[in-house]
Structure 1
Amino acid sequence: MRPVWAERLDEGFDQHLRTHHESLATTLGDISPVAFACAVWRLAGPPTADPGYLHRHPRVLTAVFTPSAWDGTLTASATLAAPWPAAIAWPRDWVADRGWRDWPSLFGQYVDPTARDIAAVPHLRSTLLVEAPVPFTDLPPAPESAAAVPEAARLALAVLVREASALLTPILTRLDAATRPG
């Protein structure tokens, strides 16, 4: 199975953080590490950093971390490209020779069909929405100053990558196995 995320944190990441320091300014010195970690996650990926410093599994369409609106703890939300549900996957008598298509892929990444594709044939794309609380006790404290941001950001991303992987890997493994030919 491919890893859920691969980190590519280099000097460019540190410069990227300095360029977007205003996005982190309100989180510095916060008593909770959650807001800082969520802000760093947003900065590490598209659209802020394109292609991003975190490369995700092809089925992961979106992945965000946010402070819970209920109590401020850490919440993950991910949208995954999924195969058709079993109820419609077989038999396919419902397709009525219309040429229904599933998720298109480009270089192994699941993508939205183009307007041209949709004009030619119908598409049915299934997704799964994962929303879950995430342990945050291993997050580093929010840094007190801008000078401490790069180290704290790297640590925070390592924790978020680990937790996202723990949450999503079992699901992605099953999805990949379900769509493997043979």
Structure 2
Amino acid sequence: MSTQQAFWLDTRRDRELGQGGGGRYAERVAANIGEFEETWGDIAPVTFACAAWRVATPPVTSPGFVRWHRRVLSATCVRNTWDGSLVAKVTLVSPLPEALTATRAWWRDRGWQGWPEIFGQFVEPAEQDLAKVPHARATLLVDAPLPMDGLPSAPDGPDDHPQEAAHRALTVMVGGLNELLSPVLTQLEGG
């Protein structure tokens, strides 16, 4: 069974879509510099890293510079208010729990459906499908600390090359998320 990559930076597409040679993500950071307003000069890198994540993912950047596995429905990174650490909040498509698959008595020929897929991507059921049959779609919510080792310091201001620091922060966060979630996704895909 091959290991499933949870997250990656779409650098090829970023270069293709960029106008000035620096890539589209650098342009998005510049265009959304307000997202970083509260982070300048912060001694802890977490708030800056979280802003970099927001700018790299939908809805701010679509398609996102940070891309993810088909089972990932959403992924955010936040600062833990208790100790200031970096926390990932990820929602994954999951199979139904074993308690519901041990017997199908609850189905009672109602035509229950799970997660619809279009071209291999899990999607919300269409309104017309919801009008016809019931759907039971399981998700797995992951709230987990991410290592902060390697996160760059927050720049002192918008003139202190925030694009470079934001890109480095994303690289570190993607690595931490892959270490954490790739085994989970591998198990879900193999099961």
Would you call these one fold, judging by a TM-score over 0.5? yes
Where does 1:25-174 land on structure 2 (aligned, <5 Å)? 25-147=37-159, 148-174=161-187
Whether the 8 Å contact between 2:116 and 2:125 is mirrored in structure 1 is: yes
What is the alpha-carbon distance in structure 2 between the residues aligned to residue 108 and residue 6 of structure 1?
18
Worse overlay, 1-10 or 38-47: 1-10
Q: Give the C-alpha shift of residue 25 in structure 1.
A: 2.1
Query: How many aligned residue pairs are there?
Result: 178
Corresponding residue of 1:7: 9
What is the alpha-carbon distance in structure 2 between the residues aligned to residue 48 and residue 113 of structure 1?
24
Amino acid at match of 1:22: G
Look up the SS of the partner of 1:61 in the other structure: strand
What is the alpha-carbon distance in structure 1 between the residues aligned to residue 138 and residue 168 of structure 2?
34
Provide Cα deviations, 1:100-133, integer angstroms capped at 9, x if missing partner: 1111112222111111111111100001111111
Unmatched tracts of structure 1, length 5 or more? none
Q: Give the C-alpha shift of residue 142 in structure 1.
A: 0.7
Q: Between the two proteins, what is the percent identity of the paired residues?
A: 42
Look up the SS of the partner of 1:70 in the other structure: coil
Q: Give the C-alpha shift of residue 145 in structure 1.
A: 2.9
Worse overlay, 100-109 or 37-46: 100-109
TM-score, length-scaled by structure 2: 0.89
Provide Cα deviations, 1:88-109, integer angstroms capped at 9, x if missing partner: 1133122111111111112222
Moved segments of 4+, more than 2 Å: none
Provide Cα deviations, 1:35-75, integer angstroms capped at 9, x if missing partner: 00000101101011111111110111111110001011111
Q: Give the C-alpha shift of residue 26 in structure 1.
A: 1.8
Corresponding residue of 2:19: none
Look up the SS of the partner of 1:146 in the other structure: coil
Look up the SS of the partner of 2:53 in the other structure: helix
Amino acid at match of 2:8: A
How large is the Cα RMSD of the aligned pairs? 1.2
